[in-house]
Amino acid sequence: MFDRLNGCANEANEPTERATAIDTVAHGGNLHEAARRYGIPYAAWLDLSTGINPHGYPVPPVPADAWRRLPDDGDDFAACAARYYGAPDAAHVLPVAGSQAAIRALPALLPRARVGIAPLTYGEYAPAFERAGHQTMVLDVSHETLPDALTHAVVVNPNNPTATRLSAARLLHWHAQLSARGGTLLVDEAFADTMPEASLAASTYRDGLLALRSPGKFFGLAGVRAGFVLGAPALLERLRSTLGAWTVSGPARHAVKAAFADEVWQRRMRTRLDAESARLVGLLHAQGFDTRSTPLFAWSVDARAAALHEALARRGVWTRLFMPSGSVRFGLPASETEWTRFNESLRDAVREIDPTRAG
């Protein structure tokens, strides 16, 4: 059921050599690369290559002190995050400079062992664990019981890009199995703001259970480079020592605290994203694409995926292609103008790659 994984990093990379899998991980949002490749000016693109909310939180003006002073870990930033995410308390929350910082540092703090990672998921995990001396293996998330050979597991929930969702009960069952072996379950909840019922934040008092959270996706604040690791205080203290002081800037703390406190905006945005996700899925279904989705993106496995990605790119619409799985991910347009452009570009692209379709 499990095999040694040489290319467990994002399938958008061709995993022909281990160096490629470890050293190069492709991401969405690489619009400058698209502009160079297709000769279309940067500003002319419709970028649907990420799962970031295009309707970002309207950050209030930044106080002057946030620019002048060093960030103060004695403020209530961690406590604010604990309240928003439902963590036990501030001692179980460590602010970091985006989840990426934790992904790079955490593997070295865990005992070297076999780590289960889904074959198509966020591509930074496998390289990070392999660099730290772990052995990565394919994780089949459809199984109730984890294999005895596994010590650690990484789960992105909901998964990026497949939109697979696992229940909290399933994940806690896995954690119990791993914890009994001295292992760790790491759950990346970057897209969980729209499905809080599946979050393990409230359970992160348990040893061997870590959750990564980020305001970048739901709040559309990826540029502030802030994130949070939720877990037992002892491990968080080791991670704090590794990462050093002042990991999250004063302006970033100001922006995130305002977003966490704005419950009215959060409720309205969840409703809006649900509606826009349904609209995106409807457009894709109308052109013959089956999809799986979260409120922030839709994903389709289709024999036409590579051709569609290419045809849309020639029209200045940037999506995220995953090969060799033959799938493509679509983010949300930001305005009615962008929705119209995407609808027309999608229709024309499908006609180009599949002349039998007249829709």
CATH 3.30.200.20, applies to 18-55+265-353: no
- What is the pLDDT, as a whole number, of residue 339? 98
Identify the pLDDT of residue 24: 55
| pLDDT, position 358 | 55
Tell me, what's the pLDDT at 30?
87
**What distance in Å separates the CA atoms of residue 344 and residue 41, rounded to the nearest whole number?**
20
Say what the pLDDT of residue 25 is: 64
Low-confidence stretches of the chain (pLDDT beneath 50)? 1-23, 359
- The pTM assigned to this predicted structure is 0.90
What would the two tokens of residue 37 be?
Answer: 């490749």
The three-class DSSP label of residue 209 is: strand
| Structure tokens belonging to residue 70 | 């060093």
Find how far residue 33's CA is from the centre of its chain.
21
**Domain edges within the chain:** 18-55+265-353, 64-261
Q: Which fold has domain 64-261?
A: Aspartate Aminotransferase; domain 2 (3.40.640)
Is 97 in contact with 226 (CB distance < 8 Å)? yes
Give the integer Cα–Cα distance in Å for 312 and 347.
10
